[in-house]
């Protein structure tokens, strides 16, 4: 297990956050408030690099694109995987050089291809991963002949919820059995540097079988492509490393995942690449929210809070579990079943239901754990609710990394 060393413990639980600091931050910056601890982001990067020595570790930026996070990840030595032209721009802004940026085109709008190809002209080290044959046509039309990677649909998916299983979903990638035939002509025309696949999100330690199967298929594909067109630079087997959202869940044994990956891949010339997003930022973030209303409903005590599905979408979208703590209640308060609901006019707008929590009272501060990945990133302004602020903690500073959105920000776009 990846314990100790520079990367520190394998998981940071919600109750390990300094309560006084969180309470003070909520006072100063108000709620709802995201807090991201860059020291933990850095430690998570170190743990990944230690577990996958010699591999290319690429941060899947979609988990959290904040500049402070991107810069920390860059300084820690990871490359970056971007899912849109916007993410590519933000990676450049954070100081990544083109040769450290992978752009994965998913049904890319013309605007994205225009921008990325323009960036590629200035930074020819940038790599474009295609998941459809006609994306290659569209790149050719724009004069692109640079570093190309083919995304395979490996026919095996994994993940914490059916909505995050990508490996067998027709939307993503080129069916793996067709990739080698396409690789030959593309290698003659472009700089074919790699093959790629991603099974889904939330690989757990209990069952690595899908991950192993995906990697085995990618090993076979790599050998086949290499036998036809020569060595590839990398084989990217995607991200999806899970984190324990529940307090009683053990952390992922990253070394075991790395061993299983190497073994399943077998002998290839290409360098192994992985693309974790969640693992880098999930336990580096908490969401702070204040209780506005407490009521005894027919079958539940409901704490109405100022963060909802527009702040943290995961519970509404995936029935995701996030630990919640009442930071204002005394430590010896008897837990009682509480439903924590947001201020949005939707029944899905609950952060938890019937969860044992210390009795909530108006004005109490709640902390929601593991909110660093796909938290702020999936927030929205539904119900005309401006997005929250975010504070970034480092060794020496506490910094407002993103100011709270205002109603003026929302209405500014209207003509």
Nearer to ligand LLP, 258 or 365 (CB): 258
Q: How far is the CB of 50 from ligand LLP (least distance, A)?
A: 17
Nearer to ligand LLP, 240 or 343 (CB): 240
Q: How far is the CB of 273 from ligand LLP (least distance, A)?
A: 10
The one among 35, 36, 38, 63 contacting ligand LLP by CB under 6 A: 63
Beta pairing, strands 191-196 & 365-368? unpaired
Q: Which stretch binds ligand LLP (CB under 6 A): 34-42, 72-80, 271-279, 285-293?
A: 271-279
- Bridge partners, 357 (sequence order): 336
345 an active-site residue? Answer: yes
Beta-carbon neighbour count of residue 132 at 10 Å? 17
Residue pair 14/355 in contact (Cβ under 8 Å)? The answer is no
- Binding flag, residue 79, ligand LLP (CB under 6 A): no
- Binding flag, residue 234, ligand LLP (CB under 6 A): no
Separation of alpha carbons 194 and 105, rounded Å: 14
Separation of alpha carbons 90 and 248, rounded Å: 36
Structure tokens at 110: 């013309």
Residue pair 187/233 in contact (Cβ under 8 Å)? The answer is no
Nearer to ligand LLP, 17 or 279 (CB): 279
Q: Which stretch binds ligand LLP (CB under 6 A): 6-14, 204-212, 233-241, 396-404?
A: 233-241
The one among 131, 239, 304, 372 contacting ligand LLP by CB under 6 A: 239
Rg (CA), the chain: 22
Separation of alpha carbons 253 and 256, rounded Å: 5
- Binding flag, residue 284, ligand LLP (CB under 6 A): no
Residue pair 160/240 in contact (Cβ under 8 Å)? The answer is no
Q: How far is the CB of 143 from ligand LLP (least distance, A)?
A: 26
Looking at residues 317 to 336 of the shown chain, list those that interact with ligand LLP (rule: CB under 6 A): 318
| Burial degree of 162 (CB within 10 A; 0-12, 13-18, 19+) | exposed
The one among 198, 290, 322, 325 contacting ligand LLP by CB under 6 A: 198
- Binding flag, residue 311, ligand LLP (CB under 6 A): no
- Binding flag, residue 76, ligand LLP (CB under 6 A): no
Q: Which stretch binds ligand LLP (CB under 6 A): 15-23, 57-65, 85-93, 218-226?
A: 57-65
The one among 135, 201, 261, 370 contacting ligand LLP by CB under 6 A: 201
**DSSP of 330-380:** -TTPPEEEEEEE-SSSSTT-EEEEEEEEEPP-TT-EEEESS-SSSSGGG--
DSSP three-state, residue 153: strand
- Binding flag, residue 385, ligand LLP (CB under 6 A): no
- Binding flag, residue 173, ligand LLP (CB under 6 A): no
Q: Which of 45, 82, 345, 352 is catalytic?
A: 345
CA-to-CA dists, residue 248 to 3, 136, 242, 323, angstroms: 17, 46, 14, 10
- Binding flag, residue 56, ligand LLP (CB under 6 A): no
Separation of alpha carbons 183 and 229, rounded Å: 8
The one among 14, 26, 60, 305 contacting ligand LLP by CB under 6 A: 60
Q: How far is the CB of 180 from ligand LLP (least distance, A)?
A: 21
- Binding flag, residue 355, ligand LLP (CB under 6 A): no
Helices 254-265, 38-51: axis angle to 10 degrees equals 40
Q: Which residues are catalytic?
A: 345
Residues contributing to the site for ligand LLP (CB under 6 A): 60, 62-63, 81, 104, 164, 166, 198, 201, 238-241, 275-279, 314, 318, 374
């Amino acid at each position: 297990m990846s314990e100790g060393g520079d990367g520190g413990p394998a998981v940071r639980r919600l109750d390990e956050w300094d309560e006084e600091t969180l309470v003070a931050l909520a006072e100063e910056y108000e709620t709802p408030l995201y807090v991201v601890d860059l020291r933990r982001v850095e430690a998570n990067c170190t743990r990944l690099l230690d577990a996958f020595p010699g591999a290319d570790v690429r941060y899947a930026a979609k988990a959290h694109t904040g500049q402070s996070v991107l810069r920390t990840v860059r300084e820690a030595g990871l490359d970056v995987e971007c899912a849109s032209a916007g993410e590519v721009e933000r990676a450049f802004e954070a100081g990544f050089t083109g040769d450290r940026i992978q752009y994965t085109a998913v049904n890319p709008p013309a605007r994205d291809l225009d921008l990325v190809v323009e960036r590629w002209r200035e930074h020819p080290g940038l790599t474009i991963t295609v998941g459809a044959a006609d994306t290659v046509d569209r790149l050719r039309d724009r004069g692109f002949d640079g570093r190309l990677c083919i995304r395979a649909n490996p026919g095996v998916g994994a993940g914490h919820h059916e909505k995050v299983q990508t490996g067998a979903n027709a939307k993503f990638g080129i069916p793996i059995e067709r990739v080698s035939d396409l690789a030959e002509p593309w290698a003659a025309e472009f700089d074919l540097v790699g093959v790629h696949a991603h099974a889904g999100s939330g690989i757990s330690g209990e069952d690595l079988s899908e991950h192993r199967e995906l990697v085995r298929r990618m090993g076979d594909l790599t050998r086949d492509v290499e036998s036809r067109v020569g060595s590839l630079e990398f084989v990217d087997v995607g991200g999806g490393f899970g984190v324990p959202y529940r307090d009683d869940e053990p952390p992922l044994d990253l070394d075991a995942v790395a061993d299983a990956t190497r073994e399943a891949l077998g002998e290839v010339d290409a360098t192994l690449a992985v693309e974790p997003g969640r693992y880098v930022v999930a336990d580096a973030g908490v969401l702070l929210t204040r209780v506005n209303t407490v009521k005894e409903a027919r079958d539940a005590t409901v704490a109405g809070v100022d963060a909802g599905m527009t702040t943290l979408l995961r519970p509404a979208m995936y029935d995701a579990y996030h630990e919640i703590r009442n930071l204002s209640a005394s430590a010896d308060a008897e837990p009682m079943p509480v439903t924590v609901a947001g201020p949005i006019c939707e029944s899905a707008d609950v952060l938890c239901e019937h969860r044992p929590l210390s009795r909530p009272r108006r004005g109490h501060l709640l902390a929601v754990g593991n909110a660093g990945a796909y938290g702020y990133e999936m927030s929205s302004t539904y119900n005309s609710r401006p997005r929250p602020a975010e504070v970034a903690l480092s060794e020496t500073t506490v910094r407002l990394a993103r100011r709270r959105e205002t109603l003026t920000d929302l209405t500014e776009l209207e003509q």
